């Protein structure tokens, strides 16, 4: 069994998930880079970690599939012999005004964002050893900030926050801490910014800039670390002082 801690990061082939995987790898945590479609990008994250002296593997699995998640956790334990950290990062957007919302959009958002988080957390709770560990899920500032056309997405993220608080109570006796991070706007390929949108976000953020994935990754890494050992059941806003 590896003496180093082991983390699974879902949806880690790009964006915030990739940044989290790289940050954990830099802390000499063995990282499982989970992905659903972007195999080349996941391999790039693994390569980055390994070139920095860390250990990582990429495993394809859809978090909305119980069978895929079973395989993800089985392969993790087979490779590293332990699990200490789960980061529930995999998620999809669901932007639509109410008139355009349909059952397919709701089902897709909740299957990945909520079902995936709950099923992965269930498996992590069974895999984490007696010394305990940490589960960190990615929510969104939109869970609390009323924004037109975001009812489905915001509802799915609010569900993650509610589940986080409940799981913290359930898993506390097993020394498993459960928290969430709620980012504001983050510059990724999923949020392309033109000059006008960038200026607007900058004007609404106390720190005067748009977040980068690494900003969120550092918060997640803190919550997963021993330094965050007295924090559980919390949703940490990581938004640079966003106000709208």
Verify whether residue 35 is a known catalytic residue: no
Catalytic residue among 153, 184, 185, 186: 153
The pLDDT value given to residue 2: 64
**Cβ atoms of 178 and 135 closer than 8 Å:** yes
Question: How much is the average pLDDT of 172-190?
Answer: 93
Q: How many domains does the chain have?
A: 1
Within 10 angstroms of residue 33's Cβ, the number of other Cβ atoms is: 30
More confident residue, 91 or 195: 91
Question: How much is the average pLDDT of 88-92?
Answer: 97
Name, in order, each residue with C-beta under 8 angstroms of 116's C-beta and a sequence gap of 6 or more. 10, 63, 64, 69, 88, 90, 91
Question: How much is the average pLDDT of 43-50?
Answer: 98
Residue 177 lies in a domain: yes
- CATH number of the domain within which 142 lies: 3.40.50.720
Residue 220 lies in a domain: yes
Confidence class for position 194, pLDDT limits 50, 70, 90: confident
Work out the end-to-end distance of the chain between its first and last CA atoms, rounded to an integer number of angstroms.
Answer: 49
pLDDT tens per residue across span 226-243? 999 999 999 999 999 987
Residue 196 lies in a domain: yes
Give how far the C-alpha of residue 232 lies from the chain's centroid of Cα atoms, to the nearest Å.
16
> Would you list the DSSP string of the chain?
--SS-EEEETT-SSHHHHHHHHHHHHTT-EEEEEESS-HHHHHHHHHHHHHTT--EEEEE--TT-HHHHHHHHHHHHHHHS---EEEE---------GGG--HHHHHHHHIIIIIHHHHHHHHHHHHS-TT-EEEEEE--GGGTS--TT-HHHHHHHHHHHHHHHHHHHHHGGGTEEEEEEEE--B-STTS---HHHHHHHHHTBTTSS-B-HHHHHHHHHHHHSGGGTT--S-EEEESSSB--
Confidence class for position 1, pLDDT limits 50, 70, 90: low
Residue 244 lies in a domain: no
* Cβ-based burial of 204 (10 A; exposed 0-12, middle 13-18, buried ≥19): middle
Give me the helix-helix angle, 151-171 and 103-110, nearest 10°: 30
Task: Kindly report the average pLDDT of the chain as a whole number.
Answer: 95
Residue 1 lies in a domain: no
How many Å is the Cα radius of gyration of the chain? 17
Residue 212 confidence (pLDDT) above 90: yes
Half-sphere CA count of 121, side-chain side, radius 13 A:
29
Domain that residue 51 falls in: 6-238
The pLDDT value given to residue 148: 95
Residue 13 lies in a domain: yes
């Amino acid at each position: 069994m590896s003496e180093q801690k082991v983390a699974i990061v879902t949806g880690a082939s790009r964006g915030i998930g990739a940044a989290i995987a790289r940050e954990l790898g830099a802390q000499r945590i063995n990282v499982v880079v989970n992905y659903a479609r972007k195999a080349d990008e996941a391999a790039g994250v693994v390569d980055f970690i390994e070139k920095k002296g860390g250990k990582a593997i990429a495993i394809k699995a859809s978090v909305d599939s119980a069978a895929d998640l079973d395989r993800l956790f089985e392969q993790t334990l087979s490779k590293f012999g332990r699990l200490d950290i789960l980061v529930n990062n995999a998620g999809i957007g669901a932007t639509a005004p109410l008139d355009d919302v349909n059952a397919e959009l709701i089902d897709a958002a909740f299957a990945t964002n909520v079902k995936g988080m709950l099923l992965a957390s269930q498996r992590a709770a069974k895999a984490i050893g007696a010394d305990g560990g940490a589960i960190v899920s990615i929510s969104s500032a939109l869970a609390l900030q009323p924004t037109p056309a975001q009812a489905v997405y915001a509802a799915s993220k609010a569900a993650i926050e509610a589940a986080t608080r409940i799981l913290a109570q359930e898993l506390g006796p097993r020394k498993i801490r459960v928290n969430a991070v709620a980012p504001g706007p983050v510059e990724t390929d999923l949020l392309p910014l033109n000059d006008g949108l960038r200026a607007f976000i900058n004007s609404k953020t106390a720190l005067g800039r748009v977040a980068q994935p690494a900003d969120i990754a550092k918060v997640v890494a803190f919550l997963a670390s021993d330094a965050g050992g007295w924090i559980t059941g919390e949703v940490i806003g990581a938004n640079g002082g966003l106000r709208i």
